Structure 1
Amino acid sequence: MIMQPTFRQPVPGDAAYCFNIETSAYEGDEAATLEKIATRIAEYPEGFLILEAEGRIAGFINSGCAFDVVMSDEEFKELIGHDPAAANVVIMSVVVDPAEQGKGYSKLLMTEFIRRMTEMGKKTIHLMCRDHHVALYEKMGYRYIKPSASDHGGKPWHEMMMDL
């Protein structure tokens, strides 16, 4: 019998496994470091959503909150400037283990993440993505804002936003 995926917030022991997924899914230096992932789990577990399938982590979304969103702010990835009271959510990673891709997990993760952020009273969700993900996020309800000033990983990014 195949179990339905479940969602949960992270615990500190999840950092290493999430780091392994992050580095297997992102190219080059696009992946967050283990230290950044551990910081995100420790400082804002409410903004970190894990999807488990068959008893193991299959993917996750992590985020921070800001009053003034500057998507190209590299320090924010270490939660510098993060304020959990802010109404604007900034997604830093949407990651599904490459071995688990193609099962609809990214959509399930995003749907649950949006539901939770709405329940928390957040007003907007912001993210950056590569060219090939723009259409996917538009289907999920995000709107294209602009090419990003960020050169993270040495390739172009695009800023997108959703009003909740």
Structure 2
Amino acid sequence: MEVMIRAVCLEDLDRITEIEAICFPAAEAATRESFQERIAAFPESFLVAEIDGIIIGFINGCSTNSSVIYDELFHSTEGHIVDGKNLAVFGLDVIPEYRKQGVASKLMKQFIQVARNNGKENVILTCKERLVHYYESFGFENNGISNSTHGGSKWFDMTLVL
């Protein structure tokens, strides 16, 4: 199984939207319109994973000077600051058939490299409690319960210092 990681393009929009709906509950999932705006605003930090030309996962996020993800970042690209010191992860999605095969890890490692290549100081994300240990395996530190209430869920703030 050869997984290729590449930059997103607008032609990926429908497949990305489909994968998001599979991976996240409706209250947390980004919309097609939101993805369209993200692709236009920060394609440099929007990566897809594919096998034989079929997208099986993706990771995306914006640059910000905020040390944590706040809910408005999910809903508008206006918070994206091109030269922001932090790169935020909005979502790391892999369809169920390809989970636990290293796809998410490849996406995260490439995303972290994008952050380094662009001179970012940190990579930040929020995650549910069950995923704290997973992100710690990449070197993220758990900063405790987030103020984010995105989708009505309880989140934890995580930071990877680069």
TM-score, with structure 1 as normaliser: 0.93
The AA in structure 1 aligned to 2:57 is G
The AA in structure 1 aligned to 2:12 is D
**Aligned pair count?**
162
Secondary structure in 2 matching 1:61: strand
2:110 to 106, 109, 112: 112
Change (3 A) 1:149 1:64: same
Alpha-carbon distance in structure 2 between the residues aligned to 1:97 and 1:77: 23
Q: Deviations over 1:6-34 (max 9, x none)?
A: 11111111111101001100123111011
- Give yes or no for contact 1:95–1:106 (8 Å, CA) kept in 2: yes
The AA in structure 1 aligned to 2:108 is M
- Give yes or no for contact 1:16–1:34 (8 Å, CA) kept in 2: yes
Displacement, 1:63? 0.6
Displacement, 1:84? 1.1
- Give yes or no for contact 1:69–1:90 (8 Å, CA) kept in 2: no
Secondary structure in 2 matching 1:7: strand
- For residue 39 of structure 2, what is the aligned residue in structure 1? 41
Consecutive unaligned residues of structure 1, counting only runs of 5 or more, are: none
Alpha-carbon distance in structure 2 between the residues aligned to 1:97 and 1:74: 26
Displacement, 1:70? 4.2
Question: Is 1:125 matched with 2:123?
Answer: yes
Displacement, 1:75? 4.3
2:48 to 32, 47, 50: 50
Secondary structure in 2 matching 1:28: coil
Alignment of 1:20-99 (within 5 A): 20-99=18-97
Displacement, 1:71? 1.6
Identity %: 33
TM-score, with structure 2 as normaliser: 0.94
- Give yes or no for contact 2:71–2:149 (8 Å, CA) kept in 1: no
Q: Deviations over 1:82-112 (max 9, x none)?
A: 1111121111111111222121111111111
Secondary structure in 1 matching 2:157: strand
Secondary structure in 1 matching 2:61: strand
The AA in structure 2 aligned to 1:96 is V
- For residue 15 of structure 1, what is the aligned residue in structure 2? 13
Secondary structure in 2 matching 1:102: coil
- Give yes or no for contact 1:65–1:86 (8 Å, CA) kept in 2: yes
Displacement, 1:62? 0.4
Would you identify which runs of 4 or more consecutive aligned residues in structure 1 move more than 6 Å? none
The AA in structure 1 aligned to 2:17 is F
Superposed CA RMSD in Å reads 1.3
